Structure 1
Amino acid sequence: MVFLTNFLRQTFRIFNTMSKVTFDSTNAKGSCTGVLQGDVSQTKKGVIVLQEWWGMNEQIIKEAALIGSQGNFVTLVPDLYRGELATDNEEASHLMDNLDWKGAVADIQGAAKFLISKGCTKVGVTGFCMGGALSLAAAALVPEISAAAPFYGIPSKGLCDVGTITIPVQAHFGSTDDYIGFSSPADAKLLAEKQKHNKNFELFMYEGCGHAFTNPTGPLGNYNEDACTLALGRMGEFMNKHLA
């Protein structure tokens, strides 16, 4: 209850400046829409917030508002599924399996260019689950991205080599995440090994937390309020530092 009260207080100002936008993308599907929150006249720091496998639902839009309040960021949530939403695991799995991941990276680049065109001087990216994996892919493949904060997700080798990432990265994983090959502790350790050359790489493991521990509406039931608050606070400080 305390978290929800603080959440509403923190996001009220951001929601007052929320708007739906369309931006160019080299994705074969053409231009992409998204939800923009924040006021570019008040900040020059932009953060792209990437959806979980559910799609651009109400939860990720609220999450973006909360993220924006962590450091007075302008946030943009691109609709990577182009209007499609999942309500159960089967639908979500189908949508993610059929996603053109390279096309999604193109959408992220389009989102970054859009924020820059609106006055942001630096753009970061964060995301959760599928969005976490895509945020790392964007860190490797999108030159307009200045910092990345992935949550429990690592892209396939076929999409990108995370070892090539040179921009600041702050990664967040749960110590009991059992999504082996994607976000388990062993996968996080491998990411850290591939990023050992990057002096601006940080890895945070959250003890006793499973997959999707920042999602209060997730069906896995792994939400951990304390870990979520700590992780988003760390992410806000990280973005403030590297987008300044």
Structure 2
Amino acid sequence: MALETKWVRYGKNQEFIGYMAKMDRVNANLPAVIVIQEIWGVDAHIQNITERFAQAGYLAFAPDLYAENGNRMEDLKEERVVEVRDFLDSLPHTVWNNPGEREQAIRELEEEKRNRVTRTFEKMFGGIQSSVYIENLLSANSFLRNECEASKGQGVASIGFCMGGALSALLACRDPELKGAAIFYGTSPSEDALKSINCPLYGFYGELDKRISDNIPAFADQMKSHGKLFEYEMYKDTHHAFFNDTRASYNVSAARDSFQKVLTFFKQVLVEE
């Protein structure tokens, strides 16, 4: 059976847009998985992940958090994001989080490119616009539960990667109807925020991704102390973004294992509940 994929407008004033995938000729009673983008946007990789969940029998939906009224913001258009990604990939990875070295590398670009890269970099990495993005994601969940014919009346679970992993956890803090949230190498919510979580969380982390992974045992303790359900996998000798098969950090063993486990998780929270 083939996939049906399309871009769909949603929101009170149809102000948002997302990439939808489902199995063709299955038009009702599909539990939904909302796929939350990495910093790179709803690119070919995120679309591919969305399609994988559709092939597993879900209505899969990836909101484009960089779009306004159906179109990408100028500084966050696909070609601009790719330009920043290619620039960063040309540098040693240690430079990514070293502002002085990174800014020196940007200054060495020709002027027009330097201006573009600076504006887009600031938009992408200037701090997660969590309040804006969460309102988009809440609107997407409402659309999937109440308006989308294929998933109307069914449960919704979330999965996110990197920036999207953090947002998947925050969405669990804000959406009391969410059935479950999978977090791939995303930062954890505050202890105060997690008190509002009503669903199970499942996290997947790389041991060598110290900025994030070193904080996970403490987060697990906080979740337990507040009676919340949180399970996690810590993959040995594995870096950040291990699930992204377009990146140098891709780890096939961790990606295979985590995909199998997240499918089991979604079956438990969306199908067997």
Q: Which position in structure 1 is the counterpart of 2:165? A: 132
Of 172, 193, 197, 2:204 maps to: 172
Q: Which position in structure 2 is the counterpart of 1:161? A: 193
> Does the C-alpha gap of structure 1 residues 193 and 50 become closer, same or farther in structure 2, counting only changes over 3 Å?
same
Q: Which position in structure 2 is the counterpart of 1:7? A: none
Is the 1:25–1:107 Cα contact (8 Å) retained in structure 2?
no
CA–CA distance in structure 1, aligned partners of residues 5 and 259 of structure 2: 20
Greater mean deviation of Cα atoms: 119-128 or 88-97:
88-97
CA–CA distance in structure 2, aligned partners of residues 93 and 207 of structure 1: 32
CA–CA distance in structure 2, aligned partners of residues 35 and 164 of structure 1: 29
Greater mean deviation of Cα atoms: 45-54 or 149-158:
149-158
CA–CA distance in structure 1, aligned partners of residues 186 and 194 of structure 2: 12
Q: Which ranges of structure 2 fall in alignment gaps of 5 or more residues?
A: 89-116
Of 42, 63, 73, 1:78 maps to: 63
CA–CA distance in structure 2, aligned partners of residues 92 and 240 of structure 1: 38
Q: Per-residue CA shift, 1:165-205, capped at 9, x if unaligned?
A: 23111111111113x2xx2x222112211211446321111
Of 34, 39, 46, 2:32 maps to: 46
- Greater percentage in helix: 2
Letter in 2 for 1:188: I
Matched, 1:202 2:231: yes
CA–CA distance in structure 1, aligned partners of residues 58 and 10 of structure 2: 19
Q: Helix, strand or coil: the match of 2:4? A: coil
Q: Which ranges of structure 1 fall in alignment gaps of 5 or more residues?
A: 1-11
CA–CA distance in structure 1, aligned partners of residues 153 and 263 of structure 2: 16
CA–CA distance in structure 1, aligned partners of residues 137 and 12 of structure 2: 8
CA–CA distance in structure 1, aligned partners of residues 251 and 207 of structure 2: 12
Matched, 1:229 2:213: no
Letter in 1 for 2:218: L
CA–CA distance in structure 1, aligned partners of residues 169 and 190 of structure 2: 11
Q: Helix, strand or coil: the match of 2:214? A: helix
Letter in 2 for 1:52: E
Q: Helix, strand or coil: the match of 2:242? A: coil
Is the 1:46–1:120 Cα contact (8 Å) retained in structure 2?
no
Matched, 1:22 2:31: no
Q: How does 1:26-105 map to 2 (within 5 A)?
A: 31-39=15-23, 41=27, 43-69=29-55, 71-82=56-67, 83=72, 84=76, 85=78, 86-87=81-82, 88=85, 89=88, 91=120, 94-97=123-126, 99-105=128-134
> Does the C-alpha gap of structure 1 residues 198 and 237 become closer, same or farther in structure 2, counting only changes over 3 Å?
farther
Greater mean deviation of Cα atoms: 198-207 or 228-237:
198-207
Q: Which position in structure 2 is the counterpart of 1:152? A: 185
CA–CA distance in structure 2, aligned partners of residues 190 and 21 of structure 1: 39
| Number of residue equivalences | 220
CA–CA distance in structure 2, aligned partners of residues 166 and 143 of structure 1: 6
Matched, 1:186 2:173: no
> Does the C-alpha gap of structure 1 residues 200 and 51 become closer, same or farther in structure 2, counting only changes over 3 Å?
same
**How much is the aligned-residue C-alpha RMSD, in angstroms?**
2.3
Is the 2:128–2:163 Cα contact (8 Å) retained in structure 1?
no
Q: Structure 2 length normalisation: TM-score?
A: 0.74
Q: Per-residue CA shift, 1:197-225, capped at 9, x if unaligned?
A: 4463211111111100000112xx11011
Q: Which position in structure 2 is the counterpart of 1:241? A: 268
